[in-house]
Structure 1
Amino acid sequence: MLSSTRAALLAAACLPLPTLAQDPAAPVAVPEVAVSGAAPSLTAPDAIEAAARLRQVPGNVTVLPAEEIRTRAGVTGLSDVLQYVPGVFAQPKWGEDTRLSIRGSGLARNFHLRGVQLTQDGIPLNQADGAGDFQELDPLTFGHVEVLRGANAFGQGAATLGGVLNFVTPTGRSDPGAVLRGEAGTYGYRRAQGAYGMEAGDFDAWASFSALSQDGFRQHSWGDSRRFNANFGWRITDDIETRFYYGYNHIEQRIPGSVTRQQALSNPRAAAAANIANDYQRNTESNRFGNRTSWRIAPGAVLDLGASFVHRELDHPIFQYIDQRTDDVNGFARLTLDGEIAGLRNRVVAGATLGFGTYDSRRYLNLGGHPGRLTASSTDRARKHTVTLQDTLHLLPDLALVAGLQLGETYRASRDRFLSDGDQSGSETYRFANPQIGLLWDVVPGDAAPEAQVFASLAWATEPPTIGDLTPLAARGFSALKAQRARTAEIGTRGRRDGLEWEVAAYRASIRDEIQLFDPTGTGATLALNAGRTIHQGIEASLSWTMLRNLAAPDLGDSLTLRQAYSFNDFRFDGDAVYGDNQLPGAPRHLYRAELRYRHPAGFSIAPNVEWVPQGFFVDNANTLKTNAYAILGLRAGWDFENGLSVFAEGRNLADRKYISNASVAPVATLNSALFEPGFGRSVYGGVQFRF
């Protein structure tokens, strides 16, 4: 029999966070652990439990279940995973790379990632200086994905404008048995996966190996990757569980490069000439070891501890040959206390995070993809610590006040070892305090969880620069950058009722010292510098509506569901001395996606879809050059059979529209500026999966 708490959580799956069940008429998938009667994992809560926890956040959050990922073919990166999450701009570049921005975070980061904290099973994945990459994430190993936009990640110890993406891996309890999967598609796409999970008393284990190879849509964009992910859990007592993680990645990727606007729209498959001549690449090998331990100290008191060590080796021939070896140690501790104060229900979350990183960096002349003469060498270090205290007090049964304070310190240092051109060493320490206050109102309470909520919050976030920001390639020396600081006000609602699910939020972030790209000398050498005042504001809206049921016959159980996601992005300078109130470059003002899905109870589904950007976005601070507007059409279909066999197919950009999916940014652009990444042409993918 299920415990009453577990039963309540399962019932909650039918309530607010809309992405848990995109079709309200479809049956909710109950985790195997619940069916077997075994206790759920303490260290790896499933999507249902994650949704219940995130309903206590006074802001816009989303939970994506694995079914939204595993039932599709050709899902290789975050751009495919996060398609229907409003407020998130995640567009493919080449291979498995993605340009990611949440609420306009990191718009000036043309390469890699800044402004969003990536975590896996709650343990930070970013390097200690806040930089990150996506290629080490395998979408086939996501049990679910938690999206905490902006300051809504306050309780997780994050302090960035973009918030947190948490990728939770399956366990032997949640995914018992074997999975064999194969996919193929256009442009030489091939992928295979084998996974197995098992549970034996107090122990469980899960492992996955996947291999992917593709020639790429563009010239010089082929890539190969091999990934292994595993975890082993031990339920020491009924109230203590520990879980060990290991991940290995070997990724080889050619880089086609950015091209001019005219080239991107006339010959989108061509690569930049310099990238071919110098064999631009990004090759990564990494090993990650981690542990997470949960201890239910007493009723209403839970302590979570986590730590990881990651060693990465990057071989990166671009305009120079970058050879970098990094070691990062990350950890967190979080104590949650549920109880009462003066007869009022109360929850306290006290947490701390830490991160240490060392970077052995060398640069050489790039001789056709091979290292030549040494041009730079440094040892870099980064450190980050945060302490967070957050309290949720229920002033009324249906109204809660949320307040918190986060204190942090970060350190960045670079020791120059290549002294023939002078000593460019330097260091900087940043300290910050971020307060938060918010309200949660359960407008329509439910038995296990509210059917409709309204939320509002005001929170601060502080984002120190990364090592790459402080040691720019275009200038000598250690930059004197300030940390950017944002104050974000947000109001919104979420819920589920009578076949309708929604998430809607409006936000406004007032930012000081945002890290943007400028050309201070007027020579074309762009540097990451602090802007004055900037504004990021917008609307995030997702809506899932089951319009029709029992179409083919009475009581058949089939359904037709319309799913939509819309983002309005208004990111701009605020009275800048040079750029006035110009729009910040790098993200579209409007982004709309929709899918109309028919589902049959026999397991068949088909879903045409559209992605629409009605206005191109600027690629420079001066607002002189734009991408193009576009609309692309796609179609998904699949069939799940009762014997564990699933087949699925997907067509993208079926009209073969030439468009620009994303672009790098610059202070001032011309028609000859090579800033644009062409969108993929017509693509078709298919796959088969067998569970047993």
Structure 2
Amino acid sequence: MARSLFLAGVVMPSLLFAMPARGQSQRADNAERDAADIVVTATPTVGEATRQIERTPGAVAVVPDTVFQNTPVQTIKDILQYVPGVIVQPRMGDDVRLSIRGSGLSRAYGVRGITLTIDGMPMNTSDGLLDFFEVDPSAYRYVEVFKGANALRYGSNALGGAINLVTPVGRDAPPLDARLDVGSFGYVKGQASTGGVAGDLDYFATASAQTNDGYRDHSNGHQFRGNLNLGYRLSPDIETRFYVYATSTKQRIPGEVSKDQALDDPRSANPEWVRQDQQRNVRSIRVANKTTTRLGDTTVEAGIFYNNRHVRHPIYQWLDFTVDDYGAFVRAVDDRSLGVVRNRLIVGANLQNGTIDTEQFVNLDGAVKGALAASMVDTSRNLSAYAEDSLFVAPNLAVVAGLQYLNARRDRQDRFLSDGNQSDAKSYDLWSPRAGVLWDVTADAQVFGNVSRSAEVPTYDANSFATPASGNLRAQRATTFEVGTRGKRGGIGWDISLYRSEIRNELQCLTTGPFSACSVINVDRTVHQGVEAGLHADLSLSALAAGDSLAITAAYTYSDFFFRDDSRYGDNELPGIPKHYLRAEALYRHPTGIYAGPNVEWAPGHYYADNANSLSVDPYALLGLKLGYDPSGRWSAYVEGRNLTNEHYISTVAIAGVASATSEIFNPGIGRAVFGGLRYRW
């Protein structure tokens, strides 16, 4: 496929132009207010959330819990694996590398370039870094995905966009929902939840405990997580909701190894990681309040939050740090008629401030704290404001324009002065405009297009101020062009996007040695472009038996990422993920509740592990199989096999500038595994 593939995208919408119209589009009719004549709610249902998100003139998705509830949901990959454009690569335990449109590709740890929220409240630290140890994949009603600048509503203007995890509320949760999952490599997880309503009060609570020996040596871990969600309706027009989220996780880290070791002995750990007993242990608590108020044609949502996280993290050094983040947000949606046209205006602001109080020690054998090696307090301040207006120039055609402003400040106070005072501060002022169009071709089919700017500020592990280079890192900027279509006809649904992001100062975190943090640089110019195509088909098999059906789901991602006239790497490909990636499943369902079917994960081509394109990662194909029983009653059960051919493959790569055959930058994928689960609802 040519690197100018985006230009070919202008042809795609013509495929829909010839579709026969089936009456005026219903989506243009006050989708935000479908249930407004009853009560206002801070947590939309799955259907309402889908209708709201599809007012976005860009690539978005809603993943309901029906997609992942009868699976061993160990990581966020089990939720997002069929969302095109989202690549999730497991590392160990609950940890993954997640990339949307090439965001944070070079990261060997943590995630950058994506905003993760839970019920609209940020889970990233205030400097932008993110990990997934606090995510409980089986605890959510649905998950929203906003790719790129389409995440405007959450104050995100990063290349990857935003993911919002939405917990259930008492008004749509059963009094008891309990499950037990067991499987290969010592995996055991138990979870129970309860929900209910008492007049104007509703409540939902869930708790889970999990233990896992791990596929690899030195990758065992255990986790406990709990969520509480309390809502109170002050009137039909006002609802306030309180949230508490708590996590305790302990996880050993097996470390990256050479390519030969990853493929020939995938269960082994890096001996240096074992000697140092590298771990990541986290205790966190989050509290928040969100209040939603309807004032005629305007709905206002406002909230406050506080996050505390204590991390004990013996790695190449013994890191002991506490994160305190706090903030507030307000968002107003005004949806009304202006004469003969409809107009939808969204305005909002987000404040997220915080500190990271860190001490680093020498890590002696067996994760024993040695002498103090570093001590600092990092303060982050972030204020963003945004506005987006959708003017319906026709009942089924909206012209959209938006603008976001971000002011970010990073301030480090060095308390360990024997190696020099590395205190410093830096501020960023960034404007990100966007414009787009959304056309409801029929009641069930849309075409969209947009052009947008995005910006990302360096995180503290990059903006360390230890050297002039790290202190002078520039914000990553991108201009993205996107066209696409989504819809449904008969039993077939589709979601297709083509995009091209032209990036300046892309932030790369390059692995420079086996026992140190990666080093962050700005790359002058790069291009990320690709195709994201999703398909879902529900086919009746009534010829075999009444009520039989076959569900086919597929997500294909084409990623063409490359340097552009770079002084060192020329036009080389950017490393990190497969150029072609396919995830597909065919699931037969019998009316009695029995279901079964195969699935595949396929990366058919080589991709590179370094900027120099000197070392490649081999293609792979993984075969899985599901079998279950879910009669829509109180009991359900499942068995699932993964990587049934026991393929040896590379799951993730810690990107290097130049790699060799002995570079220890690879994480092997998990081998053959079988899981089973039992669920009871009452």
Scaled by the length of structure 2, the TM-score of the pair is 0.92
Deviations 1:582-607 (A, max 9, x none): 11111110100110111122212112
Alignment of 1:487-566 (within 5 A): 487-517=479-509, 527-553=519-545, 556-566=546-556
Cα distance in 2 between the residues matched to 1:477 and 1:394: 48
1:161 and 1:583 map into 2 onto residues whose CA distance is: 18
Give the aligned partner of residue 21 of structure 2.
none
**Where has structure 1 moved over 6 Å in runs of 4 or more?**
none
Q: Tell me how far apart the structure 2 counterparts of residues 165 and 187 of structure 1 sit (CA, whole Å).
A: 29
| Distance across 1 between alignment mates of 2:597 and 2:175 | 29
Native 8 Å contact 2:424 2:465 kept in 1: no
Contact 2:39 2:237 in 1 (8 A): no
More displaced 10-residue stretch of structure 1: 345-354 or 602-611: 602-611
Aligned to 1:54: 53
DSSP-derived class of the 1:53 partner: helix
8 Å contact 1:229–1:248 — kept in the other structure? yes
Structure-2 separation of matches of 1:536 and 1:568: 10
Q: State the one-letter code of the partner of 2:450.
A: S
Shift of 1:38: 12
Shift of 1:40: 6.5
Matched residue SS, 1:257: coil
Question: Which residue number in structure 1 is paired with residue 148 of structure 2?
Answer: 150
Q: 1:465 aligns with which of 450, 458, 472?
A: 458
User: Which of 593, 596, 610 pairs up with 1:603?
Assistant: 593
Tell me, yes or no, if structure 1 residue 453 matches structure 2 residue 450: no
Q: Is the 8 A contact 1:248 1:286 kept in 2?
A: yes
Structure 2 gaps, min length 5: 1-15, 17-33
CA gap of 1:366–1:638, structure 2 versus 1, over 3 A, is: same
CA distance in structure 2 between the partners assigned to 1:585 and 1:472 by the alignment: 27
Q: Give the corresponding residue for 1:483.
A: 475
- Aligned letter for 1:456? G
For 2:37 and 2:55, the matched residues in 1 are separated by 27
Task: Write the distance in 2 (CA, Å) between the matches of 1:472 and 1:186.
Answer: 45
Distance, in Å, in 2 between the alignment partners of 1:306 and 1:664 is 37
Q: Which amino acid aligns with 1:63?
A: V
Superposed CA deviations along residues 366-407 of structure 1, whole A, max 9, x for unmatched, are 012121100000010001111101000001111110001111
Matching of residue 638 in structure 1 with residue 628 in structure 2:
yes
1:362 paired to 2:359:
yes
Q: Which amino acid aligns with 2:651?
A: S
Instruction: For 1:393 and 1:642, locate their aligned partners in 2 and report how far apart those are by CA, in whole Å.
Output: 43
In structure 2, what is the Cα distance between the partners aligned to 1:621 and 1:642? Answer: 51
Q: Is the 8 A contact 1:472 1:528 kept in 2?
A: no
| Secondary structure, aligned partner of 1:467 | coil
Q: Which amino acid aligns with 2:226?
A: F
Q: CA deviation at 1:498?
A: 1.0
Kindly indicate whether residue 329 of structure 2 is the aligned counterpart of residue 337 of structure 1: no
In the alignment, which of 556, 566, 579 is matched to residue 576 of structure 1?
A: 566
Cα distance in structure 2, aligned partners of 1:643 and 1:546: 22
Distance in 2, matches of 1:526 and 1:679, equals 22
**Shift in Å, 1:527:** 2.1
SS at match of 1:284: strand
Aligned partner letter, 1:56: R
Q: Which residue of 1 aligns with 2:12?
A: none
Q: For residues 108-507 of structure 1, what are the structure 2 equivalents within 5 Å?
A: 108-298=106-296, 300-367=297-364, 368-444=366-442, 446=443, 451-471=444-464, 479-507=471-499
2: distance between equivalents of 1:642 and 1:583? 48
Helix, strand or coil at the partner of 1:689: strand
**By how many angstroms is 1:341 displaced?**
2.6
Distance 2:122 2:516 in 1: 36
Q: Which residue pairs with 1:9 in the alignment? A: none
- Asked if structure 1 preserves the Cα contact closer than 8 Å seen for 2:445 and 2:487, the reply is yes
Normalising by structure 1, what TM-score? Answer: 0.91
Contact residue 316 and residue 516 of structure 2 kept, 8 A: no
**Using the alignment, how far apart are the partners of 1:518 and 1:94 within structure 2?**
20
Kept in 2: contact 1:517–1:667 (CA 8 A)? no
Q: Is the 8 A contact 2:470 2:520 kept in 1?
A: no
Distance 1:163 1:639 in 2: 36
Q: Which amino acid aligns with 1:361?
A: T
The question of whether the paired residues in 2 share the 8 Å contact of 1:425 and 1:477 is answered with no
CA distance in 2, matches of 1:282, 1:621: 29
Provide, for residues 29-64 of structure 1, a one-character-per-residue CA deviation record: whole Å limited to 9, x for no partner.
xxxxx99x9966611112111100011100111100
- Asked if 2 retains the 8 angstrom alpha-carbon contact of 1:426 and 1:478, the reply is no
SS state of the match for residue 528, structure 1? strand
Quick one: percent identity of the two aligned structures? 43
Once the two structures are superposed, residues 529-556 of structure 1 have per-residue CA deviations (whole angstroms, 9 ceiling, x without a partner) of: 1110110000000011234431422xx1
Paired residue secondary structure (1:506): strand
SS of match in other structure, 2:544:
coil
| CA pair 572-605 structure 1, distance change in 2 beyond 3 A | same
SS at match of 1:513: strand
Match of 2:92, SS state, is coil
User: In structure 2, what is the Cα distance between the partners aligned to 1:270 and 1:180?
Assistant: 35
- In structure 1, what is the equivalent of residue 96 of structure 2? 98
The one-letter code sitting in structure 2 at the alignment partner of 1:81 is I
| Residue of 609, 624, 638 corresponding to 2:614 | 624
Q: Which residue in the other structure is 1:71 paired with?
A: 70
Q: Distance in 1 between matches of 2:156 and 2:149?
A: 8
- CA apart distance, 1:578: 0.3
Name the SS for the 2:617 alignment partner: coil
RMSD: 2.0
- Counterpart secondary structure, 1:177: coil
**How far, CA to CA, are the matches of 1:627 and 1:479 in structure 2?**
33
